[in-house]
Amino acid sequence: MTDPACDLVLCDVHLPDGRVADISIRDGYVVHAGAKLPSHDQLSCRGYTVLPGAIDMHVHMRGGSQRGKEDWKSGSMSAIAGGVTVVVDQPNTIPPLTTPEAFQARVAEAGEGSRCSFAINAGVTAGTDIPALWRAGAMAFGEIFCAPSSYAEGVAPDVLASALAGIGEFGGLATLHAEAVAPGEPRDLASHSRQRGPAGEAQVVRDLAGAGHPCRLHFCHLSTASAIAAAGTASVEVTPHHLFLSYEQAEATDTQFKVNPPLRTETERQRLWTAWDRIDVIASDHAPHTRAEKAVPFGDAPSGIPGVETMLPLLVAAYRHGMIDLPSLVYKTSWRPADILGIPRAGLNPGDRADFALYGTSASVVSADQLHSRAGWTPYEGFPAVFPTVVIQGGDIVYREGEYSPGSPCWYPGRGFIP
């Protein structure tokens, strides 16, 4: 006989509409919201903000020969400790994920090491067999690089056009890294931001969005309000670093703030917040590099900022400071990425995936020595942040006050997957 009891009940959860309910969970899904059902375990949520687990749809988990920067274990522990229960890995790995064999090896590597659930995107270069990668389980294609970046060459316009046509044939999603790079050798953060300037970024977005491509487009990590305004009907993603950091906050040649697209001026950063309602997705572009790799002359340093663990804590602190509301935070970090990718939503209603993070009332600040990424540094040192106390994945408590427990993370293949 099957056990009629639930696995876990979250007691006294404050629902967005103001009601207080008990959330009963069985087999990884919410089965009831109301009075609690009989259960093997329960957790009091009084005094906590209970949010659906976040989907970070833009991370670079490294691994392989880049495991000194990060691997699936350290990167996913970092995700979980930041309230992120699903990550979407980008294909600019070594080797890049442009063949079914490399893609399958990446799925196996993630399956062995990851403590959070994951999806994996496929890369696009000249000659990539796009239908084969779709059948191998690619969640989406990209980030497709319109300009060179760390561990990626820019894709030529004709290659991009034919890739978008191919992706459109099976209703796939193309995710785009839109930038234009002027010639020159940037010596500091300001000249880096000019070389990969806001006008060029917005123009690339405008050209792609206006070209009527036969596939769904998603613009990654747009850095200005004008680039967002140029995106037409495509979905747009923004990172915490473009929302919370400007290059004017840093020393002129601080390589820890070097990222593509670059950080902008303080004025541009503040203007980005005015586009909040148009932003579909907040994703971290978690791109860890070691301190040693960053401790080189500005022009030689790799671009990228680690951020999967600090994304929700910075945003929850912003919510507590009255800068954003809770429904939009949940939408942009969990529900909208789920809908764009076709992953079931996490949430508080029957049938929802039972992934949650519980945020207590005590505020703290970001400190690199509390974080789990192998990068070992953060540009947000001292920023106000609210870290989750408890994280639940698939109905299992996988993280509690700094201690991890095993869960049942899974791979979310794309719709084209043929086992």
Q: Which residues are catalytic?
A: 285
- Nearest approach, Cβ of 93 to ligand DOR (angstroms)? 9
| Residue 208: strand, helix, or coil | helix
Interface with ligand DOR in residues 211-250 (CB under 6 A): none
Q: Are 175 and 220 in contact (CB under 8 A)?
A: yes
3-state secondary structure of 219: strand
Chain centroid to CA 220: how far?
10
Nearer to ligand DOR, 69 or 353 (CB): 69
Contact 306, 79 (CB under 8 A): no
**Closer by beta carbon to ligand DOR, 198 or else 302:** 302
Which residue lies nearer to ligand DOR by CB, 356 or 380? Answer: 380
Stretch binding ligand DOR (CB under 6 A), from 80-88, 108-116, 302-310, 378-386:
302-310
Q: How far is the CB of 69 from ligand DOR (least distance, A)?
A: 8
- E-strand ranges in 181-264 read 216-219, 235-238
Regarding beta strands 49-52 and 384-385, do their DSSP bridges make them parallel or antiparallel, or are they unpaired? unpaired
Minimum CB separation of residue 173 from ligand DOR in Å reads: 18
Assigned token pair, 163 = 């890739």
Stretch that binds ligand DOR, among 14-22, 198-206, 297-305, 388-396 (CB under 6 A): 297-305
DSSP 39: B
Which residue type occupies 418?
I
Q: How far is the CB of 61 from ligand DOR (least distance, A)?
A: 10
> String of b and e for 321-340 (b: at least 16 CB within 10 Å)?
eeebeeebbbbbbbbbbbbb
Both tokens of 294, joined, read 């960053």
Q: Which residue has the tokens 């995700």?
A: 79
Q: Which of 98, 117, 260, 310 binds ligand DOR (CB under 6 A)?
A: 260
CA distances from 332 to 236, 317, 337, 380 (A): 10, 16, 7, 21
Q: How far apart, in Å, are the Cα atoms of 269 and each of 101, 109, 222, 224?
A: 41, 37, 11, 7
* # residues near ligand DOR by CB under 6 A: 12
CA 335 to chain centre: 13
CA atoms within 13 A on the CB side of 337: 31
Q: Which is nearer to ligand DOR, 85 or 93 (CB)?
A: 93
Q: Is 303 a binder of ligand DOR (CB under 6 A)?
A: yes
Min dist CB 59 to ligand DOR, Å, is 10
Cβ pair 9, 37 in contact under 8 A: yes
Minimum Å gap between C-beta 60 and ligand DOR is 4
Our finding on whether 176 is near ligand DOR (CB under 6 A) is no
d(CA 357, CA 288): 23
Stretch that binds ligand DOR, among 147-155, 315-323, 339-347, 393-401 (CB under 6 A): 147-155
User: Does residue 286 bind ligand DOR (CB under 6 A)?
Assistant: no
Radius of gyration of the chain measured on its C-alpha atoms: 21
The answer to whether 177 contacts ligand DOR (rule: CB under 6 A) is yes
Q: Which of 49, 128, 149, 224 binds ligand DOR (CB under 6 A)?
A: 149
Residue 304 as a binder of ligand DOR (CB under 6 A): the answer is: yes
Task: Output the smallest distance, CB 176 to ligand DOR, in A.
Answer: 11
b/e sequence 171-208, b meaning 16+ C-beta within 10 Å: ebbbbbbbbbbeeeebebbbbbbebbbbebbbbbbbeb
Q: Among the candidate windows 104-112, 208-216, 223-231, 296-304, which touches ligand DOR by CB under 6 A?
A: 296-304
Which is closer to ligand DOR, CB of 24 or CB of 76? 76
Q: Is 125 in the site for ligand DOR (CB under 6 A)?
A: no
Indicate whether 92 belongs to the interface with ligand DOR (CB under 6 A).
yes
Candidate segments 119-127, 211-219, 245-253, 300-308, binder of ligand DOR by CB under 6 A: 300-308
Position among 136, 167, 227, 287 found at the interface with ligand DOR (CB under 6 A): 287
Residues from 32 through 71 that contact ligand DOR (CB under 6 A): 60
Of 246 and 303, which CB lies nearer to ligand DOR in the complex structure?
303
Neighbours of 393 (CB within 10 A): 28
Its sign, for the CA torsion 61, 66, 67, 68, is negative
Residue 26: CB minimum distance to ligand DOR, A: 39
Stretch that binds ligand DOR, among 120-128, 231-239, 298-306, 348-356 (CB under 6 A): 298-306
Interface with ligand DOR by CB under 6 A: which residues? 60, 92, 149-151, 177, 259-260, 287, 302-304
